[in-house]
Amino acid sequence: MPKPIIQPENLTEIFTKLKQSLYSSSKARAYAESRNIYSAKLEAGYNNGTHYSKLKNCIIFPLKDKENNIVSFYGRNIESKSKDDRHFYTTGRKGLYPNYPNQETETLILTESIWAGQMKELLVKANNYKNLGIIDETLIESIENQYCKILRNGLAEQPKEILLEKIKRGRKAKSKSVRLLDVFINRGHQILMFIYNNNVPFDNNLAERDLRMVKLKQKISGCFRSENGAKVFWRIRSYVSTVRKQGLLVLDSIQLAINNAPVNISLG
């Protein structure tokens, strides 16, 4: 007796329908919005059981192979109250979300949860508000509330602790996600300082640019020939960087320094 022919599932076609279901389901849409994953930039769908028998009541994320084909699904159940009954995969799971990295990729960072992406989106949005000059006490309070909510979601997403039969000495190792959570919890005021103080920049790009020329010098020359030469280089670069931040002309400022009349740097 011949074996029945099993047709492979067309996951791409299925996901197209699931993606439409996310927009048509108010319940799924509300959940996605609360987790900051309801965005046209993110590939996500919802399975109410109409178009797909597996991963029912789950927000669906497509996992892709190197050719960018959908090869399996990850589902996050939005109705389960149990921490152990929220995350599901199709059988023989494989692939990456949102896709495989290109050949030029040198570093691949695997995240354990989605809270970090939510936090990044919040902070970028807060910086946009700051650049528009619309930051006030009401908006700051709203940003702080969202900040705390994302951290609570991040704590809830962490896997349940597994007790080992053999007790090991020493401090228990924390995952990268937990360590990052600790930083955001313990240093929240410093992280949000850019919305409290207009003089505090959103990022540290200025500091990185200040250090870049030192690194470039090392790459070209290999090293500094003497400690005094290194100090002279750092002093000149520091002067150039400072006058540039003060909005002054670099060449004119260098000329004044050569004539023993350096510019008066304002610290206020």
Please report, for the chain, the start and end positions of each structural domain, with discontinuous segments joined by +. Answer: 11-89, 115-158+175-196, 205-258
Give the rounded percent of residues in the chain with a pLDDT score beyond 90.
23
Cα-trace Rg, the chain: 26
Most confident segment among 69-73, 99-103, 155-159, 243-247? 69-73
| CA separation for the pair 45, 152 (Å, rounded) | 24
67 vs 211 pLDDT, higher one: 67
pLDDT beyond 70 at 228: yes
Mean pLDDT of 200-210: 78
pLDDT beyond 50 at 163: no
| CA separation for the pair 225, 217 (Å, rounded) | 12
Q: What is the model's pLDDT at position 1?
A: 44
Most confident segment among 13-22, 72-81, 224-233? 13-22
Mean residue pLDDT of the chain comes to 81
Question: pLDDT tens, 111-149?
Answer: 556 788 788 889 999 999 999 999 999 999 999 999 999
Task: Report yes or no: 68 and 81 within 8 Å, Cβ to Cβ.
Answer: no
147 vs 80 pLDDT, higher one: 147
Which residues are 233's β-sheet partners?
none
Q: What is the third-level CATH fold of 11-89?
A: DNA primase DNAg catalytic core, N-terminal domain (3.90.980)
161 vs 194 pLDDT, higher one: 194
pTM over 0.85: no
